[in-house]
């Protein structure tokens, strides 16, 4: 369950922000430019790429929720990742959890091919420690926890301490759990990134990202680079993000309640060989008995929609092998457990019994395992 302070804070975002009208829903400031009272003076707003009143309300709220010094709202989750990695120098040595969103992996690969940075991947705490000891230099560590789609959990506190001991900084992609379930900056991480497209906005109608810095110095660098490179979020999208955040606690509590119950029930299905649920949040992965029957399973589903993405109020099913993780070479992904029998479910806010009934009727397509 969401703690009451976060729930209250979320519901009130943007209220009391317009002294002229008392508007409870924050105004959308579309103006790209702002009058200067006189030479050398500013209202605090000059040009929307740099700072926009609607986006500022959103960014201040996100910084507070993640316990950071400053947040930048970006045009997508990938833009947020690019922004944070952009802070590191040419030739940066980055260690990354291997099981991560395929788009992040694709970007890291591109950086490596370009010669901008080098990446080494780890699957477990032991492998991380092994790598730390083996590499001559560590600029940064990039982590998803739980990982996507295998739901491994890493100990942020321990990894942050070990990263800092080698002079590096820790970046955590907090898309899956949101700050309502995990605040990586309070555990020692230096940066948090999000695909705001997922749980934070939650309605499958907004593409957005968030980058948050812990220290004021890093916050200043982040804001400088965001202004310089220009991937900041538009005013209307910032307003839509604020509007969506107000119900995040309600949505996530319900998604989690549904997911927890489904994860438990799915383990009893003879067509399901493994259920991967990290214990909180709204994401479940599962393995089925016969990958060849997956196309028929996807067609049989009536409530779950076969689509890429996650975190919205509508339940979705994703096939990582061809969708979100299709750009990872087959040998690489299969070696770490992303095999063709794996499906990923994003649980929505529908009635839990309806979701279970839909899965139950569609799972019938798979043969039953002889023994569990
Ligand atoms: C964990 C994670 N991080 C980052 C991203 C990228 O976000 P966006 O699609 O908003 O660019 C995604 C997208 O699926 C994701 O799942």
Partners of 119 in the β-ladder:
94
The alpha carbons of the chain give a radius of gyration, in whole angstroms, of 21
Atom of ligand 1 nearest to the CA of 208: 10
Question: Catalytic residue at 173?
Answer: yes
Of all protein residues, whose CA lies closest to atom 8 belonging to ligand 1? 77
How far is the C-alpha of 77 from the C-alpha of 54, rounded, in Å?
19
How far is the C-alpha of 54 from the C-alpha of 68, rounded, in Å?
19
pLDDT band at 12 (very low <50, low <70, confident <90, very high): very high
Q: Helix, strand or coil for residue 122?
A: strand
Q: What's the pLDDT at 242?
A: 98
* Residue 101 CA from chain centroid, whole number: 9
β-pairing, 283-288 vs 272-276, is antiparallel
Q: What's the pLDDT at 328?
A: 83
**Ligand 1 binding pocket includes 255 (Cβ within 6 Å):** no
Question: Catalytic residue at 198?
Answer: yes
**Ligand 1 binding pocket includes 151 (Cβ within 6 Å):** no
**Ligand 1 binding pocket includes 175 (Cβ within 6 Å):** yes
Please answer whether residues 249 and 2 qualify as being in contact, where contact means their C-beta atoms are separated by less than 8 angstroms. yes
Work out the number of other CB atoms within 10 angstroms of the CB of residue 118: 16
Question: Catalytic residue at 64?
Answer: no
* Residue 329 CA from chain centroid, whole number: 22
| Contact partners, residue 306, CB within 8 Å, separation at least 6 | 298, 316, 317, 318, 319
**Nearest-CA neighbor of 343 among 281, 280, 301, 371?**
301
Structure confidence by residue, pLDDT tens digits, 13-42: 999 888 899 999 999 999 999 999 999 999
Work out the number of other CB atoms within 10 angstroms of the CB of residue 230: 12
Of all protein residues, whose CA lies closest to atom 7 belonging to ligand 1? 77
Q: What's the pLDDT at 4?
A: 82
Give the C-alpha distances (Å, rounded to integers) separating 133 from 167, 294, 329, 350: 13, 42, 27, 47
Structure confidence by residue, pLDDT tens digits, 343-352: 999 999 999 9
Q: CA torsion sign, 323 to 329 to 333 to 339?
A: positive
Q: Is 371's pLDDT higher than 70?
A: no
Nearest-10 Cα torsion for 153, 178, 110, 74: -170
Mean pLDDT value across residues 277-297: 97
Task: Compute the distance from residue 195 Cα to the ligand 1 centre, in Å.
Answer: 5
How far is the C-alpha of 305 from the C-alpha of 249, rounded, in Å?
23
Structure confidence by residue, pLDDT tens digits, 140-168: 999 999 999 999 999 999 999 999 999 99
Partners of 73 in the β-ladder:
210
Q: What's the pLDDT at 174?
A: 98
Task: Compute the distance from residue 152 Cα to the ligand 1 centre, in Å.
Answer: 17
More confident residue, 325 or 177: 177
Question: Among the options 198, 214, 260, 344, which is catalytic?
Answer: 198
**Ligand 1 binding pocket includes 148 (Cβ within 6 Å):** yes
Structure confidence by residue, pLDDT tens digits, 96-149: 999 999 999 999 999 999 999 999 999 999 999 999 999 999 999 999 999 999
Work out the number of other CB atoms within 10 angstroms of the CB of residue 25: 14
CA atoms within 13 A on the CB side of 364: 9
Mean pLDDT of the chain: 96
Nearest-10 Cα torsion for 169, 216, 206, 78: -30
How far is the C-alpha of 7 from the C-alpha of 292, rounded, in Å?
44
Q: CA torsion sign, 263 to 268 to 273 to 274?
A: positive
Question: Catalytic residue at 358?
Answer: no
Q: Helix, strand or coil for residue 247?
A: coil
Mean pLDDT value across residues 330-342: 90
Please answer whether residues 221 and 83 qualify as being in contact, where contact means their C-beta atoms are separated by less than 8 angstroms. no
Q: Where are the beta strands (DSSP E) in the chain?
A: 70-74, 92-97, 117-122, 140-144, 169-173, 191-195, 209-213, 272-276, 283-288, 305-306, 316-318, 342-346
**Longest pairwise C-alpha distance within the chain:** 80
**Ligand 1 binding pocket includes 311 (Cβ within 6 Å):** no
């Amino acid at each position: 369950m969401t703690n009451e302070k976060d729930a209250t804070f979320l519901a009130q975002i943007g209220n009391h922000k317009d002294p002229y009208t008392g508007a409870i829903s924050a105004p959308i400031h579309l103006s790209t430019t702002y009058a200067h009272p006189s030479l050398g003076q500013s209202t605090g707003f000059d040009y929307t790429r740099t700072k926009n009143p609607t986006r500022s309300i959103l960014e201040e709220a996100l910084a507070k929720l993640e316990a950071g010094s400053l947040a930048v709202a970006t045009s997508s989750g990938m833009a947020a990742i690019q922004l944070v990695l952009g802070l590191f120098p040419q030739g940066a040595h980055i260690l990354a959890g291997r099981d991560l969103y395929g788009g992040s992996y694709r970007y890291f690969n591109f950086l490596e091919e370009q010669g901008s940075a080098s990446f080494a991947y780890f699957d477990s705490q032991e492998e991380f420690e092994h790598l730390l000891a083996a590499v001559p230099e560590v600029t940064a560590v990039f982590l998803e926890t739980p990982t996507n789609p295998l739901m491994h959990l890493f100990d942020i506190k321990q990894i942050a301490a070990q990263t800092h001991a080698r002079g590096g900084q820790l970046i955590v992609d907090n898309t899956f759990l949101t700050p309502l379930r995990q605040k990586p900056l309070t555990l020692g991480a230096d940066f948090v990134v999000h695909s705001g497209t997922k749980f934070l906005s939650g309605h499958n109608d907004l593409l957005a990202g968030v980058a948050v810095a812990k220290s004021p110095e890093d916050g200043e660098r982040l804001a400088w680079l965001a202004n310089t490179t220009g991937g900041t979020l538009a005013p209307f999208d910032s307003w839509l993000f604020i509007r969506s955040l107000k119900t995040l606690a309600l949505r996530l509590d319900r998604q989690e309640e549904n997911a927890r119950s489904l994860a438990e029930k799915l383990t009893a299905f003879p067509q399901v060989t493994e259920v991967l649920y990290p214990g909180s949040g709204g994401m479940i992965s599962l393995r089925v008995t016969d990958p060849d029957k997956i196309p028929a399973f996807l067609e049989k589903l009536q409530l779950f929609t076969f689509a890429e993405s996650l975190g919205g109020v509508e339940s979705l099913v994703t096939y990582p092998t061809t969708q979100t993780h299709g750009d990872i070479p087959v040998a690489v992904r299969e070696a770490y457990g992303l095999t063709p029998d794996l499906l990923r479910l994003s649980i929505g806010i529908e009635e839990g019994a309806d979701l279970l009934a839909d899965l139950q009727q569609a799972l019938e397509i798979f043969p039953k395992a002889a023994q569990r």
